[in-house]
Structure 1
Amino acid sequence: MHKYILSFLLLAATVFAEDPAPAADLPLPEQAAAALEAGETKDAVKLYEKAIKASPDDAQLQTDYAQALGVRIGQVNFMAQGFIASKMLKAYERSVEIDPDHLTGWIGLCRYYLNAPAIAGGSADKAETYAKEVHQRVAWLGEVELGLVAEKRGDLDAAKTHFEAALAAKPGYPEATKALERIAAKSTE
């Protein structure tokens, strides 16, 4: 009989033991980032949504949420993707509404329109509009975004010119370097 009581007490101690570093002790944005890093995208999105309710005027939080949605969108079915895409777009738009100089928001809008299918509003023209917003704030980053737009349109010469301009201003920038390698590979096809 004592053996069963001891087993029960050991089991109860294990079940009710405190987590050595409970994530709930972290602020919501940090919990969300940790969940995203752990691959728990559904939980990360929910945590970002709670954090946004608590701090609706935080531009960086809006873009962090949008980026988490960008990861999540690849893990859901086609019908859910449209719903998530809408939330992502609204979060990027809200970020630049809060802070018109929030660079991550402008880049996010450019990339959203560059990569979204037409049915979700994707458009190289809209992407170019946001790339120009980036360019006004940080010219070399704008050159990268304009290069991506030109590449999407199939204008490899213009894309190359933009990426080279980015590298002239920011030597060794990995995204521009990789883009030029992509352009070179496409040019030989």
Structure 2
Amino acid sequence: MKRLIFFLVLLPSLIFSQTNFEKGEKLFRDGKYEQAQPILENYLKENPSNLKAIEYLGDIAGHDKSWDKAIGYYRKLKQMKPSEANYYYKYGGSLGMKAKEVNKFRALGMIGEVKESFEKAITLNPKHIEAHWALVMLYLQIPSIIGGSESKALKHSNELYKLSPVDGYLSKGQIEEYFKRYSSAEVQYKKAIAAGSTKKGSQMLTNLYINKMNQPEKAAKIKI
């Protein structure tokens, strides 16, 4: 009887708490991050182990470019559930964005952990397309002295092709464009469009024509 009374007393607060989470979640999914944030923060105070609430708050922090906050949330997630690939991917992504804002010396010290986070995500989930994409771009952008390499970028581009031909062509196009092989990049983007990437592929091809190849007349013919 005492247990029943305790449960009945506790029930309203449980319902209220759950209602708050659902409200915050709906606002988040509707893109109303500023309204969702305080609701989810209050919910998390009472439910500190709720993974979705932590992830939503990390995503909101990332959207606001509050990289330190995002890093903190994603670090907590990967500690709480180390088997979830996406947590490592998001942690590596927020850490990488932070590295772009600090001085070069400090950034160099962060790159290793960024790379390891993306690689861990792929170890946990070899089909994690976003993590493969992240490594393509990372290996293109970092100096060779700390591991940057076209061959390493191409390796992940080939993995992307196995998972999604569209992503394979787009990533190959990015590699070709990075090394100023613009005609080859054009071919890859056209292949991506033919394979089904009508919007993203068209945007990349348009950008290539306008900003790299100085061929606005070709860009004008593309339907996005």
Which range, TM-score by smaller chain? 0.7 to 0.9
1:171 shift after superposition: 4.5
Q: Which amino acid aligns with 1:182?
A: N
The one of 74, 81, 89 equivalent to 1:63 is 89
SS in 2 for 1:75: coil
Paired residues, number: 170
Partner of 2:203 in structure 1?
178
Partner of 1:86 in structure 2?
112
- The structure-2 alpha-carbon separation of the partners of 1:20 and 1:136, relative to structure 1 and needing over 3 Å to count, comes to closer
Partner of 2:214 in structure 1?
188
Partner of 1:3 in structure 2?
none
Q: Which amino acid aligns with 1:180?
A: L
TM-score with structure 2 setting the length: 0.69
1:24 shift after superposition: 5.4
Conserved 8 A contact 2:88-2:117: yes
In 2, the alpha carbon distance for the partners of 1:88 and 1:154 equals: 26
Partner of 1:48 in structure 2?
74
Partner of 2:24 in structure 1?
none
| Structure 2, gaps ≥5 residues long | 1-36, 45-52, 216-224
Q: Which stretch shows the higher mean deviation, 72-81 or 89-98?
A: 72-81
In 1, the alpha carbon distance for the partners of 2:163 and 2:38 equals: 44
In 1, the alpha carbon distance for the partners of 2:122 and 2:62 equals: 23
1:153 shift after superposition: 2.3
The one of 170, 184, 187 equivalent to 1:144 is 170
In 2, the alpha carbon distance for the partners of 1:168 and 1:104 equals: 22
1:150 shift after superposition: 1.3
SS in 2 for 1:133: helix
1:60-106: CA deviation from partner (whole Å, max 9, x where unpaired) = 11111122112211221212211221111011000110011111111
1:56 shift after superposition: 1.0
Q: Which amino acid aligns with 2:144?
A: A
Conserved 8 A contact 2:40-2:57: no
The one of 41, 59, 82 equivalent to 1:23 is 41
In 1, the alpha carbon distance for the partners of 2:141 and 2:42 equals: 35
1:29-87: CA deviation from partner (whole Å, max 9, x where unpaired) = 22222222233211211221111111111111111112211221122121221122111
- The structure-2 alpha-carbon separation of the partners of 1:20 and 1:138, relative to structure 1 and needing over 3 Å to count, comes to closer
In 2, the alpha carbon distance for the partners of 1:162 and 1:92 equals: 25
Conserved 8 A contact 1:124-1:153: no
Q: Which runs of 4+ in 1 moved over 3 A?
A: none
| Structure 1, gaps ≥5 residues long | 1-18
Q: Which amino acid aligns with 2:209?
A: A
TM-score with structure 1 setting the length: 0.81
Q: Which amino acid aligns with 2:173?
A: G
The one of 32, 37, 40 equivalent to 2:58 is 32
Aligned-residue identity in percent: 21
Matches within 5 A, 1:115-126: 115-126=141-152
* Higher RCO, Cα 8 Å, sep 6+: 1
